[in-house]
A and B are shown apart, each in its own frame.
Chain A
Amino acid sequence: MARLSIRGLHKFYGKFEALKGIDLDIAEGEFCVFVGPSGCGKSTLLRTIAGLEDVDDGAIDIDGEVVNTLRPRDRNIAMVFQNYALYPYLTVFENIAFGLRARKTPDTQVRERVGRAAEMLGITALLDRTPRQLSGGQRQRVAIGRAVVRDARLFLFDEPLSNLDAQLRDGMRAEIKRLHQEIGKTTIYVTHDQIEAMTLADRIVLMRDGLIEQQGAPLDLFERPATRFVASFLGSPQMNFMPCRLERRDGAATIVFADGRTLAFGAERSADLSAHEGRDLVIGIRPEHMSRALPDRPPAAGAAPISVLVDLVQPTGTRTYAQFRIGEVEVTVELPAHIVEHPGTTIDLLVDMTRVVLIDPKTDKVLSNGTGETG
C-alpha cells in the first residue's frame, strides 16, 4: 500500500504539452479514477506514474520517495493494460507468473500465489490454456491476475474494460470494485467512461487539456461541479444548458429566457443569488431534475412550473426521454417510462430550482451550485 503525491508535473511530446502542471495526492488504499475526454492527458499521467514515460518537470513521490528516475521495474507497481498484454506463447499460468519469475521468486511460492490469484478471479480451470483459447472477459481476468499476484504497492488500470462488450463490462466493473475492497491496495484507474468513473471511484480526478479540471468524491463532483465542463461531462443524459438572464421579479430571483418564459427560485436561493441579478448567465438543469406537474398536487417548495411543447419522445424502457426547445436549445427531460406524450403536445413541467446550476458564460465557471442532494 502506498501514498502517492505528485507535484508540478509537466510532460512534453515535442512541442505538444501533454501535462501542464499536475498536482495530486492519493491516500493509502484509495481508489482513484482519472477520467476525461480522449487526449486530456489521463493515460499519459498514468504512464508517467508507471515509469513508462519520462517526466520533463515535477516530482512523482511514492511513500515519500521520489521515483522520477526509477525504472518501471524498481517502482514496484502493477499495471493492467487496455489490450490485456497477455503473451500468446505462454500458458495462462505462466502469464500470471510472469512478473514473479522476472523477480526470481522461488517456484513453490509462484505456484501458491498464482493459485491464490486464480482462485480469487475464478480462472483456476483455465490455467493450462493459452490466451488464444480464452474469451475477452477471461483474458481480462488473467490480465488482472497478473497484477494482483504480485505484491505491488500500487495498482494501475489503463482503460481495462474498453475492449469488452457492454454486458461484460458491467460485470467486470463490479468485480474490480469488489477486488479493491478485498485487497485494499491503492489503485489508479483510467477511463473515458463517466459511469465507470462514478461507480468505481473513491475519488474522481477529472482532466482536460493536460490539467486537472476538478477532483473529489464522485457525488461531490456530480452535485457541485466547479465548471460547465465538469457539469456536462458527468451525468447521462447530459445536463441541459440554456442562456438566460437573472432578474428579480415579485421579490424572487428569476430566470428569464429570451422567449419570455420564466423560472422563479425559492426564497432560500433567491437571497444567495442577489449578487448576480441583472446578468446574462447560463442555467444548467439535469434531465432528471424536471418532472411532470400534477394538477391535483401543489408544487414542492423551490419548484418552478414551465409549459413546454414536446417535439421528440425516446422511450428506453426504464425511463422515457422527451425533448423540447427553449429558444435555440434542445432540452431533454427524463420522465417515468409510461408517461409518454406524442410529439406536438404541450405538457407542464416542474423544475427543481434547488438543484439547477448557474454558470458565467464568459469564464464557464459555476457561480452557484444547487443545495439539494441527489437521491
Chain B
Amino acid sequence: MVSGGGGSAVALAPGRLADRNFKYYMIFPAVLVILLIGLFPVIYTLIISFQNLTMMDEDTSFHGLMHYRALFEDARFWESLLHTFIFVAVALPAELLLGLAMAYLFLERLPGRQIFVALLVLPVVTSPIIAGATWRLLFDNQFGPINQILGWFAGEPVPIIWLVDPNFVYPAILIAEIWQWTPFMFLLLLAALSNVDKSQTEAAELDGASFLRTFRLIVLPAIWPVMAIAVLIRALDLFRLFDVVWALTRGGPGTSTETISIYAYVAGFQQFETSYTAAMAFVVIVILAVSITLVLRRLEIDR
C-alpha cells in the first residue's frame, strides 16, 4: 500500500502542472498574433531602413544612416510633421473645449437627454473615411450646402472653393475633424462631470466661489483622470491623422495639407521608396515612444 499516496500524487501531478501553466496557455495565442503588429513592424522597419530597397532595386546591403540623413534634409518631411502638429494643436483644444461646453449643456436634467446623447454619438462611430466623403459633398463650392448657408448670412453668394483655396483648406479639414470627434470628448466629459460630487460644488457656490473658481478647484481635479485619457487617446489619433485628409484633399493642394501618415503612404506606396519610408516610419515610432513616455511620466508625477 506504499504506492497508494505516491501513486495518486504522480497521477495528478500533470494536472497540477497544467493548472500552473494555464495562465501562460491563455495568453500565448494572443501574444503570438500581437507580435505581427507589435514587434515585427518595429524590427523589420529598422532593418529595411538601413538597406536601400526600392520597388525596382532589391539592394539589401548595409547603407548605414543614409536614409536618416536624407530624411533630415527632406523639407517635405519636416513640413508634413508641421502640418500634423497644426492639426493636433488646433483640433485637440477645440474638441476639448467644445466637448466640455456641450457636456455642461447636457449635465443637468433635460427631457429626452438620452435621445440627444444617442444621436450625438453618431459622428464618432461613423467611418472616418465616410465622414471625409460626407464633408467633401458638403463643402462643394457649387452644389454643397455650406456656401449656400454662408450666403444667407453674408447676404450675397459666397464662392469659396474650400478644398483648393489655401486659405480655406485647413479650416475645412479641421471642421470635419472637429465635427467627428467633439462628441467623443462630450460623452467622456459628460460621464466624468456626472460623477463629480454635487455637494462639493454646491458648497463652493454657497461660499460664493465663482464658476471658474469652482471649476478649477473642485470640478477639474475630479474629472482630470478621465480628461487626461480622453486627451491622450485623441492626441494619438490626431498624430496619425490620415482618413479625413485623404478623403478631402489627399494632402493637397500640392502637399500643403500632407500629414506624416499621408507622406509615408505616398513615399511607400506611390513612389515605392521602400527603405526611405522605413526610415520615416521608424522616426515616427521614436517620436511617439518618446512623447508617450514623457506624457505618462508627467501624469505619474501629478498623481
* A adjacent to B, CB under 8 Å: yes
Interface residues of A (CB under 8 A from B): 64-66, 69-71, 74
Residue B16, interface by CB 8 Å: yes
Instruction: Assess the B16–A65 pair: CB atoms within 8 A.
Output: no
In the bound complex, do residue B12 and residue A65 qualify as a contact, i.e. CB atoms below 8 Å apart? no
Within 8 A of A (CB), among B8-32: 8-9, 12-13, 15-16, 19
**Closest chain A CB from B251 CB (angstroms):** 52
Which residues of chain A are within 8 angstroms of B9 by Cβ–Cβ distance?
66, 69
- The contact of A66 among B5, B15, B16, B19, by CB within 8 Å, is B5
Add 15 more A-B contacts to A65-B5, A70-B16, A74-B15 (CB < 8 A).
A64-B5, A65-B4, A65-B8, A66-B5, A66-B9, A69-B9, A69-B12, A69-B13, A69-B16, A70-B12, A71-B12, A71-B15, A71-B16, A71-B19, A74-B12
**Residues 80-137 of B contacting A (Cβ, < 8 Å):** none
Alpha-carbon gap, A71 to B16, bound state (A):
6
- Distance between B2 CB and nearest chain A CB, rounded to angstroms: 13
| Chain B: interface size category | under 10
Q: Give the docked Cα–Cα distance between A65 and B5 (Å).
A: 6
Cα(A71)–Cα(B12), bound, Å: 9
* Beta-carbon contacts under 8 Å, B202-235 to A: none
B contacts with A: majority SS: helix
* Closest A residue by C-beta to B11: A74
**Residues of B contacting A70 in the complex (Cβ-Cβ under 8 angstroms):** 12, 16
Show the binding face of B for A, using Cβ within 8 Å: 4-5, 8-9, 12-13, 15-16, 19
Query: What is the bound-complex CA distance between A70 and B8, given in angstroms?
Result: 10
- Residues of A near B12 (CB, < 8 A) are 69-71, 74
Name the distance in Å between B10's Cβ and chain A's nearest Cβ: 11
Q: From residue A341, how far is it (CB to closest CB) to chain B in Å? A: 46
Bound: A214/B295 CA distance, A = 56
Residues of chain A lying within 8 A (CB to CB) of residue B8: 65
Q: Whole-angstrom distance from the CB of A72 to the nearest CB of chain B?
A: 10
Q: How far apart are the CA atoms of A66 and B9 in the complex, in Å?
A: 9
Question: Which A residues touch B5, using CB under 8 A?
Answer: 64-66
Q: List 7 A-B contacts (CB under 8 A).
A: A65-B5, A65-B8, A66-B9, A70-B12, A70-B16, A71-B12, A71-B19
Bound-complex Cα distance A8 to B4 (A): 23
Shortest CB distance A4–B (Å): 16
Q: CA separation between A70 and B19, bound complex, in Å?
A: 10
What's the minimum C-beta distance from A5 to chain B, rounded to whole angstroms?
Answer: 13
Residue of B nearest to A54 (CB): B20
Question: Residue of A at shortest CB range from B13?
Answer: A69
CB distance from A158 to the nearest CB of B (A): 22
* Chain A nearest CB, measured from B245 CB (Å): 47
A71 to B8, CA, bound (A): 12
How many Å lie between the Cα of A69 and that of B12 in the bound state?
8
Complex CA distance for A309 and B9, rounded to whole angstroms: 68
For the complex, give the distance between the alpha carbons of A64 and B5 in Å. 8
Q: Give the distance in Å from the alpha carbon of A64 to the alpha carbon of B15 in the complex.
A: 21
CB-defined contacts of A69 to chain B, threshold 8 Å: 9, 12-13, 16
* Interchain nearest-CB distance for B193 vs A (Å): 31
Enumerate chain B residues within 8 angstroms of A65, measured Cβ to Cβ.
Answer: 4-5, 8
Q: What's the least CB distance linking A70 to chain B, in Å?
A: 6
Distance A65 CA – B9 CA, assembled complex (angstroms): 9
Complex Cα gap A78–B101 (Å): 56
Nearest chain-B residue to A68 (Cβ)?
B9
- CB-nearest residue of chain A to B17: A69
CA distance A74 to B15 in the complex (A): 10
User: B13 to chain A: which residues have CB within 8 Å?
Assistant: 69
Residues of A near B19 (CB, < 8 A) are 71
Residue of B nearest to A66 (CB): B5
Q: Which residue of B lies closest to A74 (CB)?
A: B12
Residues of A within 8 A of B16 (CB): 69-71
Residues in B with CB closer than 8 Å to A64 are: 5
B37 to chain A, nearest CB (A): 35
Residue of A nearest to B15 (CB): A71
B281 to chain A, nearest CB (A): 43
Question: Closest residue to B9 on the A side, CB-wise?
Answer: A69
B14 to chain A, nearest CB (A): 11
- Bound: A74/B16 CA distance, A: 10
Expressed in whole angstroms, the Cα–Cα distance for A319 and B5 within the complex equals 57
* Alpha-carbon separation in the docked complex, A326 to B13 (Å): 63
A72 — nearest CB in chain B belongs to which residue? B19
